[in-house]
């Protein structure tokens, strides 16, 4: 099947810390609860990454809260690897001690869920294309920009959605910059966004200031996410800081209007959508290259759009961004979306800015396309050992703090 669904699926407002471990399961449980409103108890069995890092990500807590006041038992199945997706859960409804319904659900990344039998979220494709090359050819033929392509196929109402998203992104930055203290979970990680924002040195160069501010904004969102506060998936919770940090910094610096930011967000959404459709935006499926790598590609494309660069330069910026995240593993310590996740958002935000600079100089000497790199990201992700895909079994996750 060709084509792509709405970019609204990329941007979701919800509580952190993990789109696949909290937002996805929460949405699945809400649907299952509505379908079984006569049940007097529920059970959720978590498999794969949901079982192995579900405690750190708060999956159990969010499921219990969603079913409340009806009780829900949680079972963590750490041993059964014979599952169709690394984020699999089985939901069971009971009445008077008898099972009345059961379903298997996959949390496939970015808060998006797929039910094995019911498929209530199988959405219509709104775009006729699913490769950047085809989209670029269409846009060049009609002399339109990428954001105008989004408007053409999504309809004008998508702008209202994007406006709400930008407001929520700015709110998460603002809240994060005001927040202080220790993140929950037991690692005793200090919130640093406020300190970064305020620690100006007397002889600070413009470049150092840029890095510090961009990082402060990325830390702000990453810390809000880790604290279970409201953020926007872009394309996931764990990678939610990259895109807003780069856009907010440039809006503050150069006075871009909200309207111009909406255009950038539409283009970024298109890039995230291409990656979701042709590869993955799930750390459990393809590692952190699929989360922070995708976020960096989205941020690079957004900035290139903001700077009014050509479609070829936008493509190259996104390609550079994702290419240099290839192979990046997902190995959060204690299954918490804190180390390395928060800092990684800041590094990716700086990298997005560099990718745009490089693309504007070197775009006409490139040899490979964004479609190639997205395809490679998927292949690399599938080759990665599951120990490096949000199971907290290897890499940094082995460090005992
Ligand atoms: S390491 Fe990357 S993919 Fe894994 S939880 Fe952290 S941000 Fe998400």
Whole-number percent of the chain with pLDDT over 90: 87
DSSP 310: -
Ligand 1: nearest atom to the Cα of 331: 1
Asked whether residue 396 carries a pLDDT value surpassing 70, the answer given is yes
Give the distance (Å) from ligand 1 centre to CA of residue 26.
19
Ligand 1: nearest atom to the Cα of 283: 3
Residue 202: the pLDDT is: 78
- Give the closest residue (by CA) to ligand 1 atom 5: 337
72-77 and 41-47 strand pairing: parallel
- Please state the domain extents for the chain: 17-115, 132-398
Give the distance (Å) from ligand 1 centre to CA of residue 390.
7
Identify which has the larger pLDDT, 401 or 125. Answer: 125
**Which tens digit of pLDDT belongs to each residue from 179-217?**
999 999 999 999 999 999 999 887 899 999 999 999 999
Give the distance (Å) from ligand 1 centre to CA of residue 218.
14
Asked whether residue 84 carries a pLDDT value surpassing 80, the answer given is yes
Give the distance (Å) from ligand 1 centre to CA of residue 237.
9
Ligand 1: nearest atom to the Cα of 288: 3
Residue 81: the pLDDT is: 85
**Which tens digit of pLDDT belongs to each residue from 110-137?**
788 889 876 545 568 999 999 999 999 9
What distance in Å separates the CA atoms of residue 225 and residue 232, rounded to the nearest whole number? 9
| Full DSSP string of 115-155 | ESS--TT-PPP-BS--SHHHHHHHHHHHT--HHHHHHHHH-
- Give the closest residue (by CA) to ligand 1 atom 4: 330
Residue 110: the pLDDT is: 77
- Rounded to an integer, the average pLDDT of 220-244 is 96
Whole-number percent of the chain with pLDDT over 70: 98
Residue 345: the pLDDT is: 98
CATH of the domain spanning 17-115, picked from 2.60.40.2580, 3.10.580.10, 3.30.1330.90, 3.40.1350.10:
3.30.1330.90
**Which tens digit of pLDDT belongs to each residue from 273-316?**
999 999 999 999 999 999 999 999 999 999 999 999 999 999 99
Dihedral of the alpha carbons of 245, 12, 189, 203, in degrees to the nearest 10: 10
Give the distance (Å) from ligand 1 centre to CA of residue 47.
18
Pick from 167, 168, 221: which is nearest to 197 by CA?
221
Asked whether residue 1 carries a pLDDT value surpassing 70, the answer given is no
Identify which has the larger pLDDT, 123 or 2. Answer: 2
- Give the closest residue (by CA) to ligand 1 atom 1: 330
Residue 121: the pLDDT is: 52
**Which tens digit of pLDDT belongs to each residue from 45-62?**
999 999 999 988 889 999
Q: How far is CA 270 from CA 9, 54, 145, 193, 295, in A?
A: 11, 30, 12, 29, 12
Determine which of 114-118, 139-143, 381-385 has the lowest per-residue pLDDT on average.
Answer: 114-118
pLDDT band at 88 (very low <50, low <70, confident <90, very high): very high
What distance in Å separates the CA atoms of residue 138 and residue 59, rounded to the nearest whole number? 42
Mutational pocket test of ligand 1: of 234, 291, 395, the residue with most ligand atoms within 8 Å of the beta carbon: 291
Give the distance (Å) from ligand 1 centre to CA of residue 120.
27
Residue 363: the pLDDT is: 87
**Which tens digit of pLDDT belongs to each residue from 7-46?**
999 999 988 898 889 999 999 999 999 999 999 999 999 9
Element holding 44 (H helix, E strand): strand 41-47
């Amino acid at each position: 099947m060709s084509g792509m669904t709405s970019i609204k699926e990329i941007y979701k407002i919800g509580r952190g810390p993990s789109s696949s471990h909290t937002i996805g399961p929460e949405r699945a449980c809400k649907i299952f609860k509505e379908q079984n409103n006569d049940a007097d108890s529920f059970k959720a069995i978590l498999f794969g990454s949901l079982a192995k890092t579900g405690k750190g990500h708060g999956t159990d807590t969010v499921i219990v809260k969603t079913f409340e006041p009806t009780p829900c038992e949680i079972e963590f199945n750490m041993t059964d690897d014979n599952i169709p997706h690394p984020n699999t859960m089985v939901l069971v409804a009971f009445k008077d001690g008898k099972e009345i319904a059961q379903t298997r659900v996959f949390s496939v990344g970015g808060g998006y869920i797929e039910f094995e039998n019911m498929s209530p979220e199988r959405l219509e494709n709104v775009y006729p294309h699913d490769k950047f090359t085809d989209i670029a050819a269409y846009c060049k033929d009609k002399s339109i920009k990428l954001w105008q392509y989004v408007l053409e196929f999504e309809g004008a109402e998508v702008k209202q959605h994007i406006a709400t998203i930008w407001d929520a992104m700015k709110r998460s930055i603002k809240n994060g910059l005001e927040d202080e203290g220790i993140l929950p979970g037991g690692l005793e990680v200090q919130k640093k966004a406020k300190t970064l924002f305020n620690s100006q040195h007397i002889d600070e160069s413009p470049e150092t200031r840029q890095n510090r501010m961009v990082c402060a904004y990325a830390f702000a969102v990453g810390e809000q996410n880790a604290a279970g506060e409201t953020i926007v998936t872009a394309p996931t919770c764990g990678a939610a800081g990259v895109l807003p940090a780069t856009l907010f910094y440039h809006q503050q610096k150069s006075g871009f209007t909200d309207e111009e930011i909406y255009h950038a967000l539409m283009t970024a959404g298109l890039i995230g959508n291409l990656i979701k459709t042709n590869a993955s935006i799930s750390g459990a499926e393809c590692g952190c290259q699929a989360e922070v790598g995708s976020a960096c590609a989205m941020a690079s494309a957004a900035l290139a759009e903001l700077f009014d660069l050509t479609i070829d330069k936008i493509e190259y910026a996104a390609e550079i961004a994702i290419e240099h995240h290839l192979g990046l593993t997902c190995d959060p310590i204690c299954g918490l979306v804190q180390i390395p996740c928060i800092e990684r958002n800041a590094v990716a935000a700086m990298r997005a800015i560099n990718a745009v600079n490089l693309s504007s100089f070197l775009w006409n000497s490139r040899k490979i396309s964004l479609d190639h790199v997205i395809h490679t990201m998927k292949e690399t992700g599938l080759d990665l050992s599951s120990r490096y895909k949000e199971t907290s079994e290897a890499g940094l996750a082995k460090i005992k703090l």
